[in-house]
Amino acid sequence: MLCTLRRSIGPFAFFALTLLIVLPRTGAADDHVVKPADLQKALEDSAQTRRDNLEALARVVSSETGARTLKTAGLDSHKVEQALALLGDSELAALAERARTVESDFEGGSLTNQQITYILIALATAVIILVLVAAR
């Protein structure tokens, strides 16, 4: 009896495994935690935010006041702009927020040239330090 049971289990197990492999898995492809369209949208939003932050910093660094200030500090504005691309998203966002604040305060007339000079030197120094730390 036991021998007959063993003989019948082998073909049954083979048949069951074959069915599991061959039959399509219905519903498995529709059961994603994150939909591909949502993931694509999040990636596009992240890339756009990074571009916006880089543009905000580039505007401040390449402005007449910014270039003059960096030159006074012994820094090349083009090298600082290139270094900005090496920053991580969080550092870039923090520096861009400061740059936007400086830009709006300057346009509003609430900052003097000396204050802008100090802020730009601090921003450039932060960029250099962050790049050096990231390079290690």
Give mean pLDDT, residues 7-25: 69
Please indicate, yes or no, whether the overall pTM of this predicted structure exceeds 0.85.
no
Of the chain, the percentage scoring pLDDT greater than 70 comes to: 76
Judged against a pLDDT cut of 70, whether residue 44 lies above it is answered with yes
Pull the structure tokens for residue 109: 């007339």
Nearest to 128 by CA among 70, 72, 89: 70
Phi, psi of 86 (to 5 degrees): -85, -10
Least confident among 18-27, 69-78, 109-118: 18-27
Q: What is the mean pLDDT of residues 76-95?
A: 86
Query: What residue has token string 């949208």?
Result: 41
